[in-house]
Structure 1
Amino acid sequence: MYIALIVFLVFGLFILLSSFFTVKQQTAVVIERFGKFLSIRQSGLQLKIPIIDRIAGRVNLKIQQLDVIIETKTKDNVFVKLKVSVQFMVVKETVYDAFYKLEYPHDQITSYVFDVVRAEVPKLKLDDVFERKDDIAIAVKRELNEAMTTYGYTIINTLVTDIDPDIQVKNAMNRINAADREKTVAEFEAEASRIRIVAKAEAEAESKRLQGQGIANQRREIAKGLVESVDVLNRVGINSQEASALIVVTQHYDTLQAIGADTNSNLILLPNSPQAGSDMLNNMIASFSASNQVGELMKKRNEKDHRSKDHKIENHSSTDHSEIQDKEE
């Protein structure tokens, strides 16, 4: 008697416990009664009739991701592997279709991805595949949405996450990119070198200009000083020739002193006798006189050539005029 009571209590407890079940968040449970669809239960504590009702299955309502790797050939006959990531989920209102119409959703999605990619990629060259990978992803998403909506699935997004060409093609592309970068580096280095050369030449030209301007100013001041020195010497009774000789001798010995005081100067041999200043002055006067004579001769020759040329032009004009009159007569 006690054993039968215990068995009855255990059986009753089992029936009571099997009447309740829980459904997790973002999950749907399909309930069948004697093998026939009864209802869909959402998250929370649920009740069913023991033995009569049973849980046929649970459907995940979270966003899922499927990575599909496809190998195909481009328009320029390059084999390439593409990795397409598909993000999808079951719509809560179409759990019935997702559970009963499609048994292996991953296989179905993979088949559609293969079909679309192998239809789109052969139309493109390898470089275009990299540039238009978003267009490929959009085409895959459009095709999948049209097909999977019937089965209660919606496609959230599709991404082409990896494009892997054949290893030989990849090495060739790397060499091309390296060559292009080396070319760019060479162009920048050449431009930088040109800028440095131009800047250096401009700096040297500016330095020469300033140096010439300084020398011109120096010589102008020296000339003014010499004129003032000659005027002072003339006032004390020394004529211009004597004053010039005195100035030349003074400059001569000042130059010798400056050369001797410079520790970095090279060896220079200059005349240092008292007569050296007079000789230098006489040589300078003779050079100036010869230069003036040469200049006068060149000036006279140029004037003579110019007159001869004008005379020829006048004769030619008169001849042409006579010929014109003869023709008119």
Structure 2
Amino acid sequence: MGGALGCVIVDQSTVGMQEQFGKFKKVVRPGIHFVPWCCGINIAGRLSLRVQQLDVRCETKTKDNVFVNIVASVQYRAIQEAAFDAYYKLTNPRSQIQSYVFDVVRASVPKMILDDVFEQKSEIARNVEEQLEKAMTNYGWEIVQTLIVDVEPDETVKKAMNEINAAQRSRLATREKAEAEKLLQVKRAEAEAESKYLSGVGIARQRQAIVDGLRESVVAFSHNVPGTSAKDVLDMVMVTQYFDTMKEIGASSKNSTVFIPHGPGAVGDVAEQIRNGLLQGSAGTPR
């Protein structure tokens, strides 16, 4: 009905291209417009001023001969003041943008190794945006933003990268485990050395206490029984200890059979051996 009456509505964020007999006349803004078709005037087309997005997938090769798919996301819009250029100069702006993205990506990525491609995505996006801005502004289009949203190596390359990463982490874990085991062994050895040292100190103190006790007993007995020498007292003490030991062995039912020299002469030998051992322990013990 509106077309029959010569009325045309242009939506918000859109401009229309008004022509008369096929020649551009003016840009019409959003709203209702009287277009007398009988005079050869019509709206040849409409141009959206909204931000649009184009995702471009480009396959290229890196410096280390790895094929990757680079996905670039370009956000662009028509410049209202240059609506004539945006509508008439390019037949397909999306195809033009895609061509420039291909050109920049395939010129930048082959200079980088694969790891650098992942690390320098923002640099690649900036190069694409700068190149597009220079080219598309002349055609009435503004590049709002360009992003490299994905870098996809070949599946076998991704698998190899994961295996390398896993091997590195495994090697690091093995090294850390070995260091922990080494530290544990060192601490265990230090603890064992400290334990042996303390045990030796305890044994030395025990022997010293025995020697001191025997010496005091010998001295006390010598004073109380005149005419006895220290050797006689020590022999008597050793004999007493000897018979006490024999008594304990015989009284216990859980002891195994023990064969020891026994007799009047053997007692002297045992006493001599015990006395020599105590005296040697006393001489070697620090006071």
Question: TM-score scaled to structure 2, two decimals?
Answer: 0.79
Whole-Å separation in 2 of the counterparts to 1:61 and 1:250:
118
The answer for the alignment partner of 1:233 in structure 2 is: 221
Whole-Å separation in 2 of the counterparts to 1:235 and 1:229:
10
Mind listing any 5+ residue stretches in structure 1 that lack a counterpart? 1-10, 292-329
Whole-Å separation in 2 of the counterparts to 1:233 and 1:149:
121
Q: Work out whether residues 29 and 56 of structure 1, in 8 Å CA contact, stay in contact via their aligned partners in 2.
A: no
Q: Work out whether residues 49 and 77 of structure 2, in 8 Å CA contact, stay in contact via their aligned partners in 1.
A: yes
Q: Does 1:148 align with 2:133?
A: no
Q: 1:174 aligns with which of 134, 140, 162?
A: 162
Whole-Å separation in 2 of the counterparts to 1:114 and 1:64:
19
The answer for the alignment partner of 1:218 in structure 2 is: 206
Q: Does 1:242 align with 2:201?
A: no
* 1:230 Cα offset (Å): 1.7
Amino acid at match of 2:258: L
**Residues 212-249 of structure 1: per-residue CA shift (max 9 Å, x gap):** 12222222222222222222222321531222123323
* 1:77 Cα offset (Å): 2.5
Describe the SS at the equivalent of 2:68. strand
Q: Does 1:118 align with 2:103?
A: no
**Residues 249-280 of structure 1: per-residue CA shift (max 9 Å, x gap):** 344456567778999x9747253857454321
Instruction: Tell me: higher relative CO, structure 1 or 2? Use CA pairs within 8 A at least 6 residues apart.
Output: 2
Q: 1:271 aligns with which of 236, 260, 263?
A: 260
Whole-Å separation in 1 of the counterparts to 2:213 and 2:105:
95
Describe the SS at the equivalent of 1:72. strand
Whole-Å separation in 2 of the counterparts to 1:280 and 1:28:
121
Describe the SS at the equivalent of 2:34. coil
The answer for the alignment partner of 1:311 in structure 2 is: none
1:174-193 equivalent positions in 2, closer than 5 A: 174-193=162-181
- Which protein shows a greater Rg? 1
Give the number of aligned pairs: 272
Whole-Å separation in 2 of the counterparts to 1:262 and 1:89:
106
Describe the SS at the equivalent of 2:63. coil
Whole-Å separation in 2 of the counterparts to 1:204 and 1:29:
90
Question: TM-score scaled to structure 1, two decimals?
Answer: 0.70
**Residues 52-102 of structure 1: per-residue CA shift (max 9 Å, x gap):** 454443333333221111112222332222112222223343333322222
Mind listing any 5+ residue stretches in structure 2 that lack a counterpart? 281-287
Instruction: State the superposition RMSD in angstroms.
Output: 3.4
Q: Work out whether residues 235 and 268 of structure 2, in 8 Å CA contact, stay in contact via their aligned partners in 1.
A: yes
Describe the SS at the equivalent of 1:75. coil
Amino acid at match of 1:193: E
Describe the SS at the equivalent of 1:48. strand
* 1:204 Cα offset (Å): 0.8
Whole-Å separation in 2 of the counterparts to 1:74 and 1:199:
51
Q: 1:63 aligns with which of 44, 47, 51?
A: 51
Whole-Å separation in 2 of the counterparts to 1:259 and 1:57:
121
Q: Work out whether residues 19 and 44 of structure 2, in 8 Å CA contact, stay in contact via their aligned partners in 1.
A: no
Whole-Å separation in 2 of the counterparts to 1:262 and 1:143:
103
